[in-house]
Amino acid sequence: MAYRGGRGRGRGGFGGFGIEYAKAEPFVIFPDITLPDRKSISDDAQLLKNFTSFERFWKTSAYHLGDGVSKKESESLDIERFSDTLKPTKKKSNERGSFYDFLVLRPDNFPKELLGDTRRERPVKRARWTQAADLHKLEVLEKLEAKADAKEENEEGEGDDEVEESEGEDSENGDYDQTKDFDDDDDDYNEPEDNDNEEVY
């Protein structure tokens, strides 16, 4: 897909023999092309907003299985702090929960072959429809624990500021699509009204 330009780099290696079988071109991921007039594309704010929320939902939902092999690495781009070791380790693997929470496993919905699996725990535990509700609770718990455990540490001051700031922001934003814990999309299309820190898609 984006590897079209990569061919040039590959073949350039033969140049060492003295005869250039192919010209080694520098790899440009998106070469310049002539583009049409920008004004010919109209922006529909509503479509853009919906599109962003759908994309964000799927990428952060239990339906996203990733590469299905490794545990997800921490997505936080914050620098590691000593106070992190004092916080209770979040169990990342359970963060999203199983997508089976949302599936109605009945013979009128799925083929028998897929239902035969009795490993699934039933009855299904209450599905989490939004990430915000649970994460807020998780945050509150973490704060309390951090405060209780790390009273003597100096770095606690930093930790608290961080945590207070996040609490402040969260309490302003009640909508489900305004969690701050993910490297999420910002809702740019309501820029003047919103004051969240999310990324635009």
Residues making contact with other proteins (CB under 8 A):
1-2, 29-30, 38, 41-44, 46-51, 54-55, 57-59, 61, 63-69, 77, 99-100, 102-104, 106-114, 117, 126-130, 133, 169, 176, 183, 185-186, 188, 191, 195-197, 199-201
String of DSSP letters for 155-191: THHHHHHHHHHHHHHHHH--STT--SSS--B--GGGT
What's the distance, Cα to Cα, between the start and end of the chain in Å?
21
3-state secondary structure at position 199: strand
Strand (E) or helix (H) holding 144:
helix 131-149
Question: Which tokens is 25 given?
Answer: 């071109």
Angle between helices 156-172 and 131-149 (to 10 degrees): 150
As measured in angstroms, the least distance from the Cβ of 93 to other proteins is: 15
As measured in angstroms, the least distance from the Cβ of 133 to other proteins is: 6
φ/ψ of 78, rounded to 5, equals -70, 155
Which one, 23 or 38, has the nearer CB to other proteins? 38
As measured in angstroms, the least distance from the Cβ of 155 to other proteins is: 21
As measured in angstroms, the least distance from the Cβ of 18 to other proteins is: 36
Which one, 94 or 154, has the nearer CB to other proteins? 94
Which one, 127 or 140, has the nearer CB to other proteins? 127
Which one, 149 or 186, has the nearer CB to other proteins? 186
